[in-house]
Amino acid sequence: MIELSRAAHFASGENRHVFVHPDVPTRCLKILRPENIEVRFQRQAWPKKVLGKTRIDDNVQEQKAHQQQAIRALIASGLEERVWAHLPRFYGTAETSLGKANVSDIIFNSEGTPARTLEHYLKQLGFDRHAKGAVERFCCWLLETGILTRNLLPHNLVIADRNGQPELFLVDGLGAPAIPNKLAAMPAWRRRYINRRIGRFYLRINWETGDQNESWEDSQKL
């Protein structure tokens, strides 16, 4: 049991808090925020409520995402390092005083502090040549590996220096809904799915770096 009752999280999303692992400070512990999960569950239409809370449990979904076909195939082929080229290494789960946690590496920048999000980078520096190169390499990696993600959002990616150049790492949003995940066995369908995620990613970047006169949701309406 990892004691976290007096620990402070260093990052937080809508559904999870992220803590530094007290025994392995290069790793983080992602723990659900149960109060937010309950609110999210109550907003569901009743047919979805019948499916239970597991489908909106980000930790469970992340665990399943790391078992997707593309990742398993790369590891089985001895190409595990290719998986972690743009993902934090995943170590499974651990019991903590705040509940079960997902354990993964923290992505650090060259100064030894946690890497900033792409969202933060874009607000500070815009979509400059360094960010464009990092995005291009990340998108090529998606297409080459066939790894599936949900919609790519700048606050779910961090940017850090690796080998003298900035690289993107997806820290949240890995995996795809159940049906796309099953259809991923078909190469043409998988590539089309990934290209759609990439196209939407560039639209989101354009919105993030634009004047934002309308919300992201409104900007998607025809």
H/E/C letters for each residue in 22-88? CCCCCEEEEEECHHHHHHHHHCCCHHHHCCCCHHHCHHHHHHHHCCCHHHHHHHHCCCHHHHCCCCC
pLDDT of residue 110: 86
CB 130 within 8 A of CB 166: yes
> Is the model's pLDDT at 12 over the cut of 90?
no
CB 91 within 8 A of CB 103: yes
Q: What pLDDT digit, counting tens, does each position of 95-118 carry?
A: 999 999 999 999 999 888 999 999
- 61: exposed, middle or buried (C-beta count within 10 Å: 0-12, 13-18, 19+)? middle
> Is the model's pLDDT at 68 over the cut of 80?
yes
Q: Which amino acid is at 155?
A: H
Going by C-alpha positions, the residue among 203, 113, 90, 115 that lies closest to residue 167 is: 115
The domain limits of the chain are 1-106, 108-222
pTM to 2 decimal places:
0.90
Chain-centroid distance, C-alpha 9: 18
- The angle at the Cα of 103, spanning 171 to 16, to the nearest 5 degrees, equals 60
pLDDT band at 203 (very low <50, low <70, confident <90, very high): very high
In CATH, the number for domain 108-222 is 1.10.510
Query: Which residues are bridge partners to 169 per DSSP?
Result: 158
pLDDT average, residue stretch 28-48 = 68
**Which tokens hold the place of 48?**
């979805």
For the chain, the distance separating the N- and C-terminal CA atoms, rounded to the nearest angstrom, is 51
Q: What pLDDT digit, counting tens, does each position of 130-160 carry?
A: 999 999 999 999 999 999 999 999 999 999 9
CB 71 within 8 A of CB 83: yes
> Is the model's pLDDT at 173 over the cut of 60?
yes
> How far apart are alpha carbons 151 and 174 in whole angstroms?
9
Going by C-alpha positions, the residue among 88, 105, 116, 86 that lies closest to residue 20 is: 105
Backbone φ and ψ for 144, nearest 5 degrees, come out as -70, -40
pLDDT average, residue stretch 51-59 = 68
> How far apart are alpha carbons 168 and 35 in whole angstroms?
31
Going by C-alpha positions, the residue among 154, 135, 152, 171 that lies closest to residue 208 is: 154
> Is the model's pLDDT at 120 over the cut of 80?
yes
> Is the model's pLDDT at 52 over the cut of 80?
no
